């Protein structure tokens, strides 16, 4: 059993990355405009669900937000590990 994410949401990305086998995601929507690809995923992990929105431009994630049911929104600006999670999700596409 994976470690649950605390209700504060602190360290959520780090916890998910350490327990990737318990992190599940389903592509809900994908669109492309001017060479930029937008993705919307439904995500599931132990004690929370949410959405992962990201925009990829020339193979690099330039915008990303993980919105968890715990009331926490994690962006590239407040957690550098989000790029690692995005790369993991995109590899699974």
Say how far apart CA 13 and CA 42 lie, in whole Å: 15
pTM flag (> 0.85): yes
In the structure encoding, which two tokens stand for residue 45, read together?
């992990």
Q: Where are the domains of the chain?
A: 26-91
- Do 19 and 48 form a contact (C-beta atoms < 8 A)? no
When pLDDT is cut at 50, 70 and 90, the band that residue 6 belongs to is confident
Say how far apart CA 40 and CA 65 lie, in whole Å: 10
pLDDT at 40: 98
Residue-wise pLDDT for 50-91, tens only, equals 999 999 999 899 999 999 998 889 999 999 999 999 999 999
């Amino acid at each position: 059993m994976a470690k649950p994410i605390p209700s504060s949401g602190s360290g959520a990305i780090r916890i998910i990355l350490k327990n990737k086998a318990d992190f599940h995601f389903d592509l809900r929507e994908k669109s492309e405009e001017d060479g930029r690809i937008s993705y919307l995923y439904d995500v599931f992990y132990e004690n929370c669900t949410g959405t992962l929105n990201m925009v990829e431009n020339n193979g690099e994630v330039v915008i990303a937000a993980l919105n968890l049911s715990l009331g926490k929104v994690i962006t590239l600006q407040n957690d550098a590990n989000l790029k690692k999670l995005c790369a993991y999700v995109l590899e699974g596409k």
